[in-house]
Structure 1
Amino acid sequence: MPANRTFTNPLVEQRADPWVYKHTDGWYYFTASVPEYDRIEVRGSRTLEGLTEAQPVVAWRKYASGSLSANIWAPEIHYIAGKWYIYFAAAHTTETNEGLFDHRMYVLENASVSPLEGDWVEKGQVKTAWESFALDATTFQHKGALYYVWAQKDPGIKGNSNLYISEMSNPWTLRGKQTMISTPEHPWEIIGFKVNEGAAVLKRNGRIFISFSASATDHNYCMGLLEADEDGDLLDAASWTKHPEPVFHTTEENGQYGPGHNSFTVDEEGRDVIVYHARNYKEITGDPLYDPNRHTRVQQFRWNEDGTPDFEVPVKDNRR
C-alpha cells in the first residue's frame, strides 16, 4: 500500500462539480462548472497538482438564446471507443424564463488525440423517458456494455431529482429500459431540496459503487453511496443497495462545508483519490447556486475491511 499523500488544497479555486479523468497517456484532464455557467473548459497536466496552474482551453460556449443558452452545469469528460466525450447539462431560456431548473442533458464529441485540441462537435440531447429537468450524467463500461447514470425529475414523484441507469447504444443514445436506482428518502437527502444527483462510479472488490450528492447546495450538501454486485443485473433496481448514512459531509472542525459532486481518480503512484468541491465558510449571502466559492479539492481515500470505500472527512485547506 503506497504511503499517505497530502495534497495542496484547494486544487482549483471557484470550480464546482469537478471531474478529473486520468488517460492512458498518463495525463490528467479536468473540467468543472465555471462560476459564470456560460462555457465548458478543459485543462490538462502530467500531474494532479499541475492542474492548479494549467491553462484552461474553452471547448464550447453557450448559445445566446433558446436551448443550450443558460446555466451550463457539471461537465464531465470521458474517453470512449477512441474519442473524447463531454456530458453536460444546459437550460433553455425565453423572454420570460431564465432557464433555472429547466435543464436537459447534452453531449459533445472530439476525435482528436488530445481533448485540449481539435473541434468539439455537438451530438445533441440525450433523450430519456420524460422531457423534464435532467442533469449530472456520467458513463461507465462494464462487461462490454456502456451504461449511463443520471439525475432527473420524474413528473410522477414528489421531489427534485432521482438517480437512473440505462444502457447506451452509442455515447449519446440510450437503449432499453431506464431504471430508477435511488430516490431521496433519508433525512440527510431532503434538506432544502429532495435531491439525488452528481453520480460517480467506482469499481472495486467485486462491487460497483455509485457515489451521489444530496440536499441543497449549501452546508447541507453531502455524499451518499449505492452499491451493487458486479455480477448482478445493473438494470434491476433490486440489485442496488443504498448506505443508510452519508459517507462524506460537512466537517466544521476542518472548515469544510457542503462537500460533494465528486469524481474518482488515482494519483501518480496509483493511490485512490476523491475529487470534490466544498466551501470554506458556512454562511452564504443569496442563492447558494450563485455563490462562486465552491472550490475543487482532492484527497486520498482508503478501503475498509468489508470492501467499502472510506472517504473519512474533508481535509483542511492548506494552500497559502
Structure 2
Amino acid sequence: MSRPTLNDLTAFMAVATHRNFRRAADALGTAPSTLSHAMRALEDRLGVRLLNRTTRSVSPTEAGFQLLARLQPALASLDEALAGVASFRGQVAGTVRINAPRVAASLLVRDIVPLVAKRFPDVVVDIVVEGQLIDIVSAGFDVGVRLAGSIPRDMIAVPLGDPVSFLCVAAPEYLARFAAPETPDELANHRCIGHRMPSGKLYRWEFERAGQELVVEATGAIILDDEELMVDAAVSGLGIAYVAGPAAEAALKEGRLCQVLGAWTPAPEAVALYYPGHRAVPPAVRAFLDCVKVVGRVPS
C-alpha cells in the first residue's frame, strides 16, 4: 500500500470536518469534483471506506472518524513545527478564521485587525459574520466571539473589549410624537422594532431594575435580523429598538437617537473571544490573540 500524500490527508480532514464537498473545496481553493475524485482515490489506496456519501450529506465512517481523530493533532503539530522554522525568518504567516456577530466583527475590524496588520503583515484575518451559535471546530473556524455566558466550557475565553449593555433607543422625532415609556409594560402601546433571531424566533426584550427582571415580547410594524438595520430603522423614526450599546453608540453621541427606559437597563454582559483548548494553537492564531490582549491593556 502506497503512503497517502500530505495533500490527500489535508483534503480528507477538510471534507470530514466540513461534512460537505463544496465547503471543503472552497476552504482548499479547489473544485468539489476534484476533491470527490481525490477522496475516492484515497479510499482505494487505503483499501477502506472513509466517508459515507448521500446526495445531500457527507459524514465519516467509523474508520474515517478514527483517522480524523489522529490526523487533527498530527497536522496541528506539523503546522507548529513549520511555523517554528518560519520564526527564524522573523515572520508569522497564516490565516485566522473567525466567526462573530456583526457588532463584535466591527470591533475587531476597528481595534484589532489594524494592529495585526502592523505587527504581522503575513497573517490573514478571515471574518465570517454570523448571529447563530455554531460549533466553531466542526465548522472549520479557529476563533469565535460571543457573549461570555454562551461560550462552551471546553473552550478558552479571552475578554474582548468592555462588557456590553443592551439598550432601548428611539429617535427624538418619534419621542416627540409618542411619550417615552416609563416602564417596560408601556412598550405595548408603542411601535417596537422586532428582532428576529437566526433560529427564526422573535427575540424577547430583557429588562432589570432593583433585582426585578422583566421579559417583554415587543411587536411593531417592522421585524429585522440585523442590528445595524435596527438602528437605521430607529433613526428613521419607525419605533423603539432594543440593541447592543456599541451598535447605537454613534447615533446616540450624534443625537440621532435617545435612550429610553434607562433605569431598566440590564447588567452589562461580558464579550469574549474563544478557541479550542484541546489542541495546539497555530502561530497565526497565537499572534492574533496576542494583539487582542495588547489592545485590551490599552486604556480607552
TM-score of the pair, normalised by structure 1: 0.23
Structure whose alpha-carbon radius of gyration is higher: 2
TM-score of the pair, normalised by structure 2: 0.24
